[in-house]
Amino acid sequence: MKSLTIKHLRYFEALAQQGHFGRAAEACSISQPALSVQIKELEEILGASLVERGTRDIRLTGLGESFAARVREILRSVDELGDLARASQSRLVGRLRIGVIPTIAPYLLPRLVQHLTGLYPELEIRPREAVTQRLIEDLADGQIDTAIVALPVSEPSLMEMPLFDEDFVLVRPAADAQKPVPKPEHLSEMKLLLLEEGHCFRDQALSFCNMSPSVPRDLMEASSLSTLVQMVGAGIGVTLIPEMAVPIETRSAHVAVARLPRPRPMRTVGMVWRKTNPLAPQLTEIASAFRDVVRGGVLDDARQSLPVAAPQP
pLDDT exceeds cutoff 80 at 275 = yes
| Top-level class of domain 91-164+267-304 | alpha beta
Quick one: pLDDT band at residue 58, thresholds 50, 70, 90? confident
Residue of higher predicted confidence among 56 and 223: 223
Residue of higher predicted confidence among 208 and 103: 103
Quick one: pLDDT band at residue 89, thresholds 50, 70, 90? low
pLDDT digits (tens, 9 = 90+) for 158-199: 999 999 999 999 999 999 988 888 877 677 778 888 888 778
Alpha-carbon distances, residue 57 vs 14, 15, 51, 246 (angstroms):
13, 10, 10, 41
Say if CB 302 and CB 247 are below 8 A apart: yes
Alpha-carbon distances, residue 187 vs 83, 167, 170, 181, 205 (angstroms):
48, 16, 10, 10, 10
Give me the architecture of the 6-84 domain, per CATH.
Orthogonal Bundle (1.10)
Per DSSP, which regions of the chain are E strands?
A: 51-53, 58-60, 94-100, 123-129, 146-151, 158-173, 192-195, 221-222, 238-242, 255-258, 266-274
Q: What is the pLDDT of residue 212?
A: 62
143 class by beta-carbon count within 10 Å (0-12 exposed, 13-18 middle, 19+ buried): buried
pLDDT digits (tens, 9 = 90+) for 3-50: 888 889 989 988 988 888 988 898 888 999 999 999 999 999 999 999
Say if CB 285 and CB 92 are below 8 A apart: yes
* Least confident interval from 22-26, 122-126, 176-180, 301-305: 301-305
Pairing of the two strands 238-242 and 158-173: antiparallel
Report the pLDDT averaged over residues 68-83.
Answer: 82
The phi, psi pair for 238, rounded to 5°, reads -130, 165
Residue of higher predicted confidence among 6 and 298: 6
pLDDT exceeds cutoff 60 at 310 = no
With pLDDT > 90 as the criterion, what percentage of the chain qualifies?
35
Quick one: pLDDT band at residue 103, thresholds 50, 70, 90? very high
pLDDT exceeds cutoff 80 at 303 = no
Q: What's the one-letter identity of residue 226?
A: S
Question: Rounded to two decimals, what is the model's pTM?
Answer: 0.74
* Least confident interval from 160-174, 206-220, 243-257: 206-220
Alpha-carbon distances, residue 80 vs 17, 39, 142, 277 (angstroms):
20, 25, 8, 7
pLDDT exceeds cutoff 70 at 301 = no
Q: What is the pLDDT of residue 216?
A: 46
69 class by beta-carbon count within 10 Å (0-12 exposed, 13-18 middle, 19+ buried): exposed
Q: What is the pLDDT of residue 81?
A: 75
Topology alike, domains 91-164+267-304 and 165-266: yes
| Top-level class of domain 165-266 | alpha beta
Domain boundaries, the chain: 6-84, 91-164+267-304, 165-266
3-class SS shares of the chain: helix, strand, coil, % to 5: 45, 20, 35
Beta bridge partner(s), residue 40: none
- Residue of 113, 104, 305, 127 whose CA lies nearest to 224: 104
